[in-house]
Amino acid sequence: MHKGEIDFITLGCSKNLVDAERVMRQLEAAGWHCVHDAEEPKGEICVINTCGFIGDAKEESINMILRMAERKKQGKLRKLIVMGCLSERYRAELEKELPEVDEMYGKFDFLKLADELKVESLTLKEAGKSKADSCSSFERKLTTPRHYAYLKISEGCDRFCSYCAIPLITGRHTSRPQAEILDEVRWLVSQGVKELNVIAQDLSSYGLDLSPTLPSREGEKSKVERKHLLPELIDEIAQVPGVEWIRLHYAYPTDFPEELLDVMARHQNVCKYLDIALQHCTDHMLGLMRRHITRAEQDALIQKIREKVPGICIRTTLLVGHPGETEEDFEALKAWVKEMRFERMGCFAYSDEEGTYAHRQYTDDIPTEVKEARAAELMAIQQDISRELMQGFVGKTEKVIIDREEGEYFIGRTQYDSPEVDCEVLIEKPKVESQKSKVESQKPKDKSLKEGEFYDVLITRAEEFDLYGEIEN
C-alpha cells in the first residue's frame, strides 16, 4: 500500500474521464499522487468513477467495486470511494448494499471529494505546515496522451428518447459558458494539447439554455431568444493559436444547427468528422423511440451535411431490438445502411433500463438472441462497406498524428478517426540494416516518428478498419 497515493479507475464514456481528470488535478494540487487505471492498484485510497448507462456497464461498475472492496478487506486499501453515474442514480441502494464503500458521490457533487481529501492531506502533513496549490476548476490531470484531450462543453440532455437513461442520471441540458470553455482550451494548448475532441451528450443543443431574456415592451411578456451557439463556439475555438484539430462528438439530428456546417467547411483545423447518433430509419421506429424526426428529414440532413462539407466522415450509432421493431423495420434498416454507406458506424442491442419511457410504456418482448443477431448482421454489412471505403484511401496522402509505438509499428490517425473508437494508420518501423545495405539502399526507410507530431503519410494498403502507410520522402 503506497501512502499518499490515490488510484482512480474510470469506467464508461469520455465525459466521465473528464470528471476524473478534474478531481485528480485538484488532489494533486493538495499534495496527493494520483494514478489512473493502473494495472495493479497500489494506492492507499481507490476512487471508482462508475457508469450507469446500460445493464452491462452497471454490472462492470459493481464488479469493480466488489473487487476493490476485497482489497480493502485484505488490508491492501485504506479507503474506498465511489463517484459517477451509477452512484448518482442508485446512491441509497449502493450505500445499503455496499457498506465497504467509505464515501459515495454522484455526478455533480464529486468535487466535494477533492475538498475532503484536501483536508485529509493537510492533516496528514500537519495542517499549517503545508499549503495546497491553487488551480482553476477546469484544470485537469490529463490521462490521455499529451497531444489530445476531451473537451466537455455541456452536461445533461433534454431529449428524453424512449430507451435512454441519461436524462434520468445527468438531468436537464446545461451548457458551460463560452468564455470558460475558451479559457480551458487555451490552458489545454499550454499543456501541449493539439487535438480537441469536443464532447457532450447533445452537442446540437449547446447554448440554447444560455439565451438571454429579451426586454419586454409595455403590455408584453418578456421573451427568451433561444439560439444555437455551437457554430459560434467552434468558430472561436478554431481561432485559438495551437489548436490543430477539432473533432465533434454526439450531435443530435433533430434541430441540428446547420450553420455549424459552414464553420466546418471554413476552418481547416475543424476535422471533417461528425459523430451524430441516428439510431434507426423507419418512421415507425423513430416514432416509438421518440426521436422527433422523420426518415425524410433525417435523410435530407445527411445529404446536406455531405454537400456542405465534402469528404466528411459521418460516424453514427444504431439501435436494434427496441420494443416494437418488426422484421420489416429491421430489413428496412439494413437496406438504409447499405444506401447511406456511413464511414463509421456502431450498433447496440436494446437494453431495457428502468425509469425510461420504453421501460414504463413498452414490453421488452424481443428475445436477447434476436437482438444480438440483428446487431451482428448489421455490423457485418458495415464491415463490407468499411472495407470498400477504406480502399479508397490507397494511393492518397493523408495528414496523420502519431499516438504511440506498438510492436513493429508507429500507430496514428487521420482527421477522420477519433481516438480509441475509430480506424488507425499503421506505419512500419525502419528495419535494422547492415552498413552495406544502407549504402546500397536507394530509398531511405522512415525515420523514427515522434508521438504527438503530424506527418504526411502515403497510404499503401487498407483493411476493413485499418490503414497502412509510409512517410513521404
Residue ranges of domains in the chain = 2-124, 148-207+225-391, 397-471
Element (H, E) at 288: helix 283-288
* CA–CA gap between residue 77 and residue 65 (Å, rounded): 12
Q: In the prediction, which pLDDT does 133 show?
A: 58
Q: In the prediction, which pLDDT does 218 show?
A: 57
Q: With helix as H, strand as E and coil as C, how does 361-423 read?
A: HCCCCCCHHHHHHHHHHHHHHHHHHHHHHHHCCCCCEEEEEEEEEECCEEEEECCCCCCCCCC
Confidence band, pLDDT 50/70/90 cuts, at residue 432 = low
Q: How many residues does the chain have?
A: 473
Least Cα distance to 156 among 169, 144, 170 occurs for 170
Between residues 87 and 137, which one has the greater pLDDT? Answer: 87
* CA–CA gap between residue 157 and residue 412 (Å, rounded): 33
Q: ∠ CA(387), CA(419), CA(467), 5° rounding?
A: 30
* CA–CA gap between residue 86 and residue 82 (Å, rounded): 9
pLDDT of 294 above 60: yes
Least Cα distance to 385 among 420, 347, 354 occurs for 347
pLDDT digits (tens, 9 = 90+) for 182-198: 999 999 999 999 999 99
pLDDT digits (tens, 9 = 90+) for 131-180: 445 677 789 999 999 999 999 999 999 999 999 998 998 889 999 999 99
* CA–CA gap between residue 399 and residue 75 (Å, rounded): 51
Assigned C-alpha cell, 78: 485504506
pLDDT digits (tens, 9 = 90+) for 394-404: 999 999 999 99
Topology annotation, domain 397-471: OB fold (Dihydrolipoamide Acetyltransferase, E2P) (2.40.50)
pLDDT of 443 above 50: no
Average pLDDT over residues 53-57: 81
pTM here is 0.89
Confidence band, pLDDT 50/70/90 cuts, at residue 379 = very high
Q: How many CB atoms lie within 10 A of CB 276?
A: 22
CB 205 within 8 A of CB 260: no
Using DSSP's 3-state secondary structure scheme, residue 337 falls into helix
Q: In the prediction, which pLDDT does 444 show?
A: 41
pLDDT of 129 above 60: no
- The DSSP call for residue 255 is T
* CA–CA gap between residue 473 and residue 471 (Å, rounded): 6
Q: In the prediction, which pLDDT does 473 show?
A: 66
Assigned C-alpha cell, 264: 466546418
Q: In the prediction, which pLDDT does 374 show?
A: 98
Using DSSP's 3-state secondary structure scheme, residue 426 falls into strand
Assigned C-alpha cell, 436: 552495406
* CA–CA gap between residue 455 and residue 402 (Å, rounded): 8
* CA–CA gap between residue 471 and residue 434 (Å, rounded): 22
Domain at 148-207+225-391: CATH architecture: Alpha-Beta Horseshoe (3.80)
Confidence band, pLDDT 50/70/90 cuts, at residue 9 = very high
Confidence band, pLDDT 50/70/90 cuts, at residue 281 = very high
pLDDT of 127 above 50: no
Q: In the prediction, which pLDDT does 128 show?
A: 37
pLDDT digits (tens, 9 = 90+) for 301-350: 999 999 999 999 999 999 999 999 999 999 999 999 999 999 999 999 99
What are the distances in angstroms from CA 213 to CA 190, 204, 209, 232? Answer: 36, 21, 11, 19
Using DSSP's 3-state secondary structure scheme, residue 295 falls into helix
Confidence band, pLDDT 50/70/90 cuts, at residue 130 = very low
CB 324 within 8 A of CB 282: no
pLDDT digits (tens, 9 = 90+) for 93-113: 888 989 999 999 988 787 788
* CA–CA gap between residue 187 and residue 171 (Å, rounded): 28
Assigned C-alpha cell, 440: 546500397
Least Cα distance to 173 among 225, 224, 139, 211 occurs for 211
Query: Does CATH place domain 2-124 in 3.40.50.300?
Result: no
- Which residue in the block uniquely carries the three cell numbers 473528464? 18
Between residues 305 and 212, which one has the greater pLDDT? Answer: 305
pLDDT digits (tens, 9 = 90+) for 223-270: 556 789 999 999 999 999 999 999 999 999 999 999 999 999 999 999
